[in-house]
Structure 1
Amino acid sequence: MGKRPLPPEDGGGDHIEPVDLKAALEERYLAYALSTIMHRALPDVRDGLKPVHRRIMHGMRLLRLNPDQGFAKCARIVGEVMGKFHPHGDQSIYDALVRLAQDFSVRYPLVDGQGNFGNIDGDNAAAMRYTEARMTEVATALLEGITEDAVDFRPTYNEEDEEPVVLPGAFPNLLANGSSGIAVGMATSIPPHNAAELCSAALYLIDRSYASVEELMTSPAEWEKIKDDPVARLECKVRGPDFPTGGTMVDSWASVVNAYETGRGGFRVRAKWAQEDQGRGTWTIVVTEIPYGVQKARLIEKIAELLIARRLPLLEDIRDESAEDIRVVLVPKSRAVDPGLMMESLFKLTELETRFPLNMNVLSRGKIPNVLSLKSVLQEWLDHRREVLVRRSRHRLADIERRLEVLAGYLIAYLNIDEVIRIIREEDEPKQVMIARWDLTDVQAEAILNLRLRQLRKLEEFEIRKEFEALTAEKKQIEDLLASDVKQWSTIRWQVSETRKKFALNTELGARRTQFADAPDHDVADIHQAMIEKEPVTVVVSEKGWLRALKGHLNDLSLLTFKEGDSLKLAFHAQTTDKILVFTTGGKFYTIGADRLPGGRGHGEPIRIIVDMENDQDIVTAFVYEPKRKLLVASHEGSGFIVSEDEVVANTRKGKQVMNVKSPDEAQICVPANGDHVAIIGDNRKMLVFPISEIPEMARGKGVRLQRYKDGGVLDLKIFAIEQGLSWSDSSNRKFTRMRSELTEWLGNRAGAGRMVPKGFPRTGKFG
């Protein structure tokens, strides 16, 4: 097969140019990535808006949809934005518009909607032809000064119009309303905050530019001091997110501060709930606030699914009694249920508790994607406000200078009104004559010529001079402002203070919604048990390591079936809420929840499927975990020690290495340390009895020598109370007991060789 011919270098006359595929893909993908980052996913740190939101605000301003004006159909707004500024689908524009109007999605709505704009259950808004909208006070604050050269404008996509690059942003919108988006290779996630708290932090930063992030925040300890002082409380700085749906934040103060310092982290938010007394000792839980971003209908559906799956044994029923406000009623199984424990189990399994991520990845100065701290975000907003102030001041100064020039011309015209009228009536080119006669500028001459006759009546020297003096004084103030950094920051401080007054913590819109609390300190085991329905089971372990749990407490085990070549190793009673501890010949303990064991049908499952147990190890024993109990573990070679049962619980599938053994030695015995003496028998049928106090308690290790052997190792071991005597059973199940006085010759110290077992001891060498 011949080589594929390459295109001719001249393009073959069809204007075809060979392009390197790798270079073309890199160039095009980079262009796409930059477009996504700059124009779609990441907000601008200065006004907190993405291009689509900024265009919606600008379009509504051009339609004069101010808060004091009437509403307009959303279809008209979407058409205006799409036709002039945003060349994308109308649905994407409408979705963005709808979200700006939802008070459960945006902390400070920018759009005042009329009609069906969706709800917290997740229902969609009505079609744009049915809904109407106008701007809110927050939106007008963002646009304040846009006609006064406060920001740059750029050509629109078809270059027929202009759109603002950024809005003046007199409102700290980025942090107040938050933002989220996924770009190429990066993402942003910023929760909403309280505007009054942000303004207080900004004022603090204006006065102390060196302030740390923690100094821009009000800690729980500081809040306790000022919460009862109505004046001091209004100056509270940032405490954390303030979600529109309220809820309770349960993170530690250190983690919150770290998140704001690094710009990365997360916040745990829980539903707000209260216990309502129903009389006669009965009660219910009422949830009145749910975490931000959670759809109420989906949340209730999820809890109902868990109820049906019997994953919430403490909960009887759930009801949605919501109207305008959220009211979800949780009915407990019985009056004896601990409400805190029930809620903890719900927090673990449902979206009644969520984690909102913090990733303050924004366009710094509108150009550079960067993860900023709380201080950096506030500083860039203040720097932008300063630039807007300077630009608006220069624009106003230019207007004043033009007006002063015109007023000077008016004054000349007033003093020479008759001559001006004569020149206009008689001269062919009155403009040039007036310029030459009174040394006027072109602007002044044009202004005099444009005067209407009815304005001549108002042309009084007093009024002209009064306006001239007022404008001159204002010009001097502006010039002083532009020449002084101190005065500029003083003005910004006043502006931010006014914003804080408008959205103060004692106003309906500005009042903090998300509260703070410490997570209740419930035992993890209690919470785990609360999520499992308590039922009796019989745990069965086979010789080859197959596990299963049969329902109920069975006493007759003769009917149990096993795989060919396998048989019963041990069986014991448990509850589904219990932890099962498994001890292996490798000295490891594994922890398995009884609820996780396979059911009684079939032969169960090999333990190696449930946990990561080595192939060369076998099960020594298994039993129900009992907190604070002591265990005695021993190896075949006769080493052992006492370990607390709490120390052997494993949290992973890999288990927990407790007893160190080296091949050919292996762990052989694990028994509860209930007694004051130990009786140990070796393969040589020698028995030794010694006080258990001679065995050390350890968390992990090889242990100490329990009995000395020339050959062989441990055969059996028993712990007993010396006052009650040592008992054993023979092959005929006859029970024998030797009291203390009869055990004298076997009593000794740990690590002794011992003496041959008493007469009548079973030939198996085991206590039975």
Structure 2
Amino acid sequence: MSEEIYPIAIEDKMKDAYLNYSLSVIIGRALPDVRDGLKPVHRRILYAARELGLLHNKAHKKSARLVGEVLGKFHPHGDSAVYDALVRMAQDFNQRYQLIDGHGNFGSIDGDSAAAMRYTETKLTEVAESLLENIDEETVKFRDNFDGTLQEPEVLPAKIPNLLVNGSSGIAVGMSTSIPPHNLAEVIDAVLHLLEYPNARLETIIKNHLPGPDFPTGASIVGNEGIKSAYESGKGKIILRAKSKIEKEGRHKNIIITEIPYQLNKSKLIEEIANLVNKSKLTSVSDLRDESDKDGIRILIQLKSGADPELTLNRLYKYTSMQSSFRINLLALDNKKPKVMGLIEILEHFIDFRKEVIKNHTKYNLNKSETRFHILEGLKTAINKLDLVIQIIRNSKEKSEAKAKLVKKLNISEEQAQSILQMQLQRLVGMEIEKLEAEKLELAAKIKEYKKILREEEVLKAYLKAELKEMKAKFADKRRSNIIKDDKKAEINKQDLIKKKEAVVSLSYRGIIKRNEEYSNLRAAKNDYLISTVKGSSLDQLLFFSDHGEVYNLQVHELEEHHGLSTGDNLSKYIQLPIEENIISLNILSKKKENHFYVFLTESGQIKRTAAKEYQTNYSHIRAIKLDNDKLINVEKAKEKDQIIVVSQNGYAIRFKGESFSSTGRNTMGSKAIKLAKNDKATAFSIYDRNKYLVSVTERGRANKIKLSQFRLQKRNGKGQRIFSNQNYKLAGAAFCKDNEKILIAAKNGEMYIVEVDKIPETSPGGNMYQITQNISFEKIARVKKILIADD
């Protein structure tokens, strides 16, 4: 033969070779069959174990013997791959229903490896035997093994829906499967329901029969949206959470972890918790011990005195594998093709497969029974003509001659003639003849039953139902994984990591911020004064509005608590402000639904109102108001129908309804609050309170106070009323106070002066201003602020 060389592009050859490899991995190694839920290696292990006689009621034999049987006859791969697969089928923390009964060290949930195969022993479990039942009775197809010397099953008969019951996981080329285990009784109930109602809705099956996966290690499944998604489309994600309980031990409380998520290494979980404690991310833990034994998992987390167990658990769920996700991908081989299937489709495939197996088994039994019945017919004929039979046998020289004569004389088949020749003389006894007749009647009934199964669909379904109920009665057990149906509980928010407690936050004139639980602990340092306090909880959000129109965000729980004589921390520890920017207002915003607004006023007299919820953000700072060469002077919380009072530097005050201007978004400029002269600007505003005074202080230290009720209600964007009569005065600032309060007057040269409000003369709008700082030589007053006292 002459040699011929055909040129082939390397990319085409690579493409073909990789495709062949991919198909080999997908079909021959990595993915389970939708019918029996097994990969080839697992199927071969179970079949080889049966062939070796390693049944559940027999003695164990060395694992190495079984591995050798599998390698030599069916699975020409590495021995470690076979043994690893065998070990996994024997582990109660990996398999919901173990298929291998292992004797010896088969590894642990701590990640310990199994002992070598020469040390361990193995045999089939009763559940595994239900997968192999009737396999020699033509129930499934067989094929040649790798070298063509033996036959192996393409699929096991599988009397239980093993794909869902034990689940499967594997990575093929370009695809992977991740099928969680389920409770056998629930899966069978779902199959029975689908047999009864072929058009059953998925929601009904989930609600009444199969609520979700059931893991061998127990734990909790949080939320059911992921379950519904996976069962509907074949893909989804569920959240698994460790089960725990709280135990009291003297003054301490202990968290006891009793069940952990599926496929989680217990030792690594303990290591994760220890690392959190060492890094001070879990400060409430004083001791950590693994007290697990043969009775189950028990991880003890001892808490410090006064620690909140629920808060600690939330931190553990957030930062450790005590809460983890499990991705579901219901991918399996359907007629040797990989396919992602929903729950109902998988159940339907199992039903169709079992019907086929039952039909094959019935045909096998029918043929066997009919053959036996045919033989009995021949025996009966022989007994009825016994003398003739004896004569033929006596007069025949050879067995073949006797057989031929029997066929001809008795008008029977060769098989019947052969059975007559093999008949023992004892069968001629009267009692034996009666047994023969009884067996014939019994066979006739069975043949009738078999034909009915093959002919009538309802009879076939009834047979399958009875079979499934038998499996349920034999292997059913209680669900291990409970399902928390509330999907919101799967989300561990910041609130879940923070202990809720009362919080009072104060800010001083010199920028010192302090958090504690009571007003009685408020105090400022020497030569400093509190100018703002807010009250809420550790779950709330602090908003710092700056004169540049920015709002800085800080969670209350992020502030360090200070008690007793401590004055707090500098605000710069928490917020980095540009040098030219100043905080003008401190507010607290609850995480709950807020129905109030923030009212803003700028130097140019622009006022705007924005819903508080617009400022609920996780950003460190955002734009609070749109400023165009303007400056923000104050921000206050208000209700929709509150009245506003605005003060200008030239000594005008206007009071108007808050309803007179509409609410707008964050990045807006607002509306005109007061009509200002060219050389004037707004200097203060407040929410109207008829019990308060407007305390006005000029740049040279003159002041008066006017009851707010003295200012008449006007339309917005008016000129307003005069505060004082002398038009040459300029206000350094204004404060809105009650008579028992104090104000802080600060000069540009750093000097400060405290004035009691009840010492300032009261006038009407347009009244005189009185000198209140005769004893202090101010260069020029820079700021006027109300001082907050402890009982404010």
TM normalised by structure 2 equals: 0.77
Output the CA distance in 2 between the equivalents of 1:166 and 1:549. 72
Please state how far the C-alpha of 1:723 moved relative to its aligned partner: 3.3
1:751 counterpart residue number? 717
CA deviations on 1:381-419 (whole Å, 9 max, x unpaired) are: 111110001011111111122222332333344424523
Q: Equivalent residue for 1:507? A: none
Deviations 1:10-59 (A, max 9, x none): 9xx98653212332233223223322322223221111111111111111
- For 1:347-370, what per-residue CA distance to the aligned partner results, in whole angstroms no more than 9, with x for missing partners? 222222222222222223x32322
Does the 8 Å CA contact 1:688/1:747 hold for their aligned counterparts? no
Tell me, in whole angstroms, the C-alpha distance in 2 between the residues paired with 1:86 and 1:722.
92
Give 1:101-140 correspondences, 5 Å limit. 101-140=90-129
The one-letter amino acid of 1:349's match is Y
CA 1:584–1:373: 2 relative to 1, 3 Å: farther
- CA RMSD in angstroms, aligned pairs only: 4.5
Report Cα offsets for 1:622-668 as digits up to 9, x if no partner. Answer: 85744268633345654333445454121357x76664x3x736673
Matched, 1:355 2:319: no
Determine which of 520, 524, 529 is the counterpart of 2:498: 529
Cα distance, 1:695–1:625 mapped onto 2, change above 3 Å: farther
Q: Match for 1:492: what amino acid?
A: L
Separation of aligned partners in 2, 1:500 and 1:313: 49
* 1:238 aligned onto 2:204: no
Report what 1:233 is aligned to: none
Give the match for residue 400 of structure 1: 369
CA separation in 1, counterparts of 2:28 and 2:702? 87
Match of 2:279 among 305, 309, 318: 309
On the 8 A contact 2:603/2:683 being kept in 1, the answer is: no
Residue of 718, 722, 725 corresponding to 2:693: 725
Q: Does 1:367 align with 2:336?
A: yes
Which stretch shifts more, 459-468 or 181-190? 459-468
CA distance in 1 between partners of 2:162 and 2:325 (Å)? 22
Cα distance in 1, alignment partners of residues 631 and 394 from structure 2: 124
Q: Which residue of structure 1 aligns with residue 481 of structure 2?
A: 514
> Quick one: which of 713, 716, 732 aligns to 2:683?
716
Match of 2:203 in 1: 214
Partner residue, 1:611? none
Q: CA deviation at 1:749?
A: 4.5
SS of 1:217 mapped into structure 2: helix
C-alpha change, 1:574 and 1:201, in structure 2 (3 Å) is closer
SS of the counterpart of 1:87?
coil
> In the superposition, relative to structure 1, how do residues 213 and 761 fare at CA in structure 2: closer, same or farther (>3 Å)?
same
1:673 aligned residue? 637
Contact 1:47 1:167 in 2 (8 A): yes
Cα distance change of structure 1 residues 314 and 398 upon mapping to structure 2, 3 Å threshold: same
Q: Which residue in 2 is equivalent to 1:567?
A: none
What secondary structure is seen at the aligned counterpart in 1 of 2:32? coil
Match of 2:234 among 254, 263, 282: 263
Which residue is equivalent to 2:465?
A: 493
Q: Residue 114 and residue 624 in structure 1: after superposition, are their counterparts in 2 closer, same or farther (change >3 A)?
A: farther
1:520-572 per-position Cα deviation (integer Å, ceiling 9, x unaligned)? 9799453232599x999999999xxxxx999xx998899xxxxxxxxxxx999
Match of 1:144 in 2: 133
For 2:442, what is the secondary structure of its paired residue?
A: helix
Distance 1:88 1:116, change over 3 A: same
Would the alpha carbon gap of residues 390 and 518 (structure 1) be closer, same or farther in structure 2, given more than 3 Å must change? Answer: closer
Contact 2:318 2:492 in 1 (8 A): no
Measure, in 1, the Cα distance between the counterparts of 2:508 and 2:711.
Answer: 41
- Per the TM alignment, residue 318 of structure 1 is displaced from its structure 2 partner at its CA by 2.5
Asked if 1 retains the 8 angstrom alpha-carbon contact of 2:426 and 2:432, the reply is: no
Instruction: Give the distance between the partners of 1:667 and 1:19, measured in 2 at CA.
Output: 77
For residue 268 of structure 1, what is the amino acid of its counterpart?
I
Partner in structure 1 of residue 10 of structure 2: 21
Unaligned runs of 5+ in 2: 516-521, 561-568, 733-779, 786-792
Candidates 31, 45, 50, aligned match of 1:61 = 50
**TM-score, with normalisation over the residues of structure 1?**
0.79
Q: Which residue of 2 aligns with 1:229?
A: none
Q: Give the alignment of 1:9-48 within 5 angstroms.
A: 16-48=5-37
- Conservation of the 8 A alpha-carbon contact between 1:249 and 1:514: yes
Q: CA separation of 1:417/1:523 partners in 2, compared to 1, >3 Å: closer, same or farther?
A: closer
Letter in 1 for 2:616: V
Structure 1 counterpart of 2:136, one-letter code: T
**Residues 468 and 297 of structure 1, relative CA distance in 2, 3 Å threshold:** same
| Residue 174 of structure 1, CA deviation | 1.1
Matched, 1:378 2:350: no
Amino acid at match of 1:725: Y
The 3 A distance-change label for structure 1 pair 360 and 699 is: farther
| 1:290 matched to 2:289 | no
DSSP-derived class of the 1:739 partner:
strand
Name 1:502's counterpart in structure 2. Answer: 474
Aligned to 1:437, the other structure's residue is in SS state helix
The question of whether the paired residues in 2 share the 8 Å contact of 1:706 and 1:750 is answered with: yes
Kept after mapping to 2: 8 A contact 1:587/1:666: no
Distance in 1 (alpha carbons) for counterparts of 2:309 and 2:400? 96
Residues 622, 471 of structure 1: alpha-carbon distance in 2 compared, 3 angstrom cutoff? farther
- The structure-2 alpha-carbon separation of the partners of 1:429 and 1:712, relative to structure 1 and needing over 3 Å to count, comes to farther
Q: Tell me the distance in 2 between the aligned counterparts of 1:576 and 1:428.
A: 103
8 Å Cα contact 1:647/1:699 also seen in 2: no
Q: Write out per-residue CA displacement over residues 596-629 of structure 1, whole angstroms, 9 at most, x where no aligned residue.
A: 899x99x989979xxxxxx9x9887685744268
| Change over 3 Å in CA distance of 1:207–1:15 after alignment to 2 | same
Q: Which residue in the other structure is 1:432 paired with?
A: 404
Give the Cα–Cα distance (whole angstroms) in 1 for the partners of residues 213 and 546 of structure 2. Answer: 50
Instruction: Measure the CA separation in 2 of the matches of 1:576 and 1:647.
Output: 20
Distance 1:175 1:590, change over 3 A: farther
Cα distance in 2 for residues equivalent to 1:689 and 1:665: 24
Distance in 1, matches of 2:658 and 2:340, equals 61
Letter in 2 for 1:119: S
Query: C-alpha separation between the residues in 1 aligned to 2:558 and 2:455?
Result: 75
Give the 3 Å change call, closer, same or farther, for CA 450–308 of structure 1 in structure 2. Answer: same
> How far did residue 256 of structure 1 move?
3.7
Residue in 2 that maps onto 1:566: none
User: Aligned equivalents of 2:493 and 2:228: distance in 1?
Assistant: 26
- What is the count of residue pairs matched by the alignment? 702
Are the aligned partners of 2:655 and 2:720 in contact in 1 as well (CA < 8 Å)? Answer: no
How many Å separate the matches in 2 of 1:129 and 1:752? 98
- Report the equivalent of 2:628: 664
Q: Aligned ranges for residues 548-567 of structure 1 at < 5 Å?
A: none
Cα separation, 2, equivalents of 1:17 and 1:728: 102
Give unpaired runs (5+ residues) of structure 1: 1-9, 220-236, 505-509, 543-547, 559-569, 609-614
- CA apart distance, 1:722: 5.5
* 1:719-755 residue CA offsets vs partner (Å, 9 max, x unmatched): 37563423467779x79552327x9579854322346
Question: What SS class does the counterpart of residue 369 from structure 1 fall into?
Answer: strand
Equivalent residue for 1:739, pick from 706, 728, 736: 706
| Cα offsets for 1:104-158 (capped at 9, x unmatched) | 1111111111111111122111111111111111111111121111111111222
Residue type at the aligned position of 2:96:
R
Quote the offset at 1:195 in angstroms.
0.9
2:451 equivalent in structure 1: 479
Q: Distance in 1 between matches of 2:170 and 2:680?
A: 67
Computing the radius of gyration from Cα coordinates, the structure with the larger value is: 2
- Cα gap change, 1:633 to 1:164, in 2 (>3 Å): farther
The 1:469–1:571 alpha-carbon spacing in structure 2 relative to 1, beyond 3 Å, is closer
Q: Which amino acid aligns with 2:282?
A: L
Using a 3 Å threshold, how does the CA distance of structure 1 residues 593 and 153 change in structure 2: closer, same or farther?
A: farther
Tell me the amino acid that sits aligned with residue 299 of structure 2. V
Alignment partner of 1:218: what SS? Answer: helix
- 2:764 match: none
Within 5 A, what are the aligned runs for 1:603-682?
A: 625-627=588-590, 631-635=598-602, 637-643=604-610, 645-651=612-618, 659=625, 661=626, 664=628, 668-673=632-637, 680=646
